[in-house]
Chains A and B, each alone.
Chain A
Amino acid sequence: MNETMDRPLFIITNLLAVTGVIMIYSATRNAADVATSQYILQSIWFGVGLAVMYTTYLLPLRFIQAITVPAFIVVIILLIAVLATSSVKGSSRWIRFGAIGIQPSELAKIAVILVLAQYLEQPKRNIRKPMVLTTACLIVALPVALILKQPDLGTSLVFGAILCGMLLWAGLSFLELVLFVSPVIGVLIAVISGFNWMVWTIFMLSVIGIIYYKRPPMPLIGVLICIHIGVGITAEPLWNTLHDYQRQRVETFLNPQADALGSGYQIIQSQIAIGSGGIFGRGLLQGSQTQLAFLPEQQTDFIFSVIGEELGFIGSLSILILFYVLIIRGIIIAINVKGRFQSLIAAGCVSVFSFHVIMNVGMTIGLLPVAGVPLPFLSYGGSFLLTSMILSGLLLNAWRHRFEY
Chain B
Amino acid sequence: MNVAPRYLGRGSWLSSRDPRVLVLTVVFFVFTAIQVWDIRLMFGLLAIALLYYRSAGIPFASVRRNWAFVIFFVSLLVLVNGVIAGGQVPRAVPGDLHVYLHLPLIGTPISAESLLAALAQLLRFIALAAVGFPLAYAIHPADFGATFARLGIPERFAFAIDLTFRFIPSFATDLQTTIDAQRVRGLELESGAGGLLGRMRRQAPILVPTVINAIAGAEDTIDAMDLRAFGTGRRSWLRHLVYDRTDRLVIAFFATLLFAATIAGFTTLSSRVWVPPFMIPG
- Genuine A/B complex: no
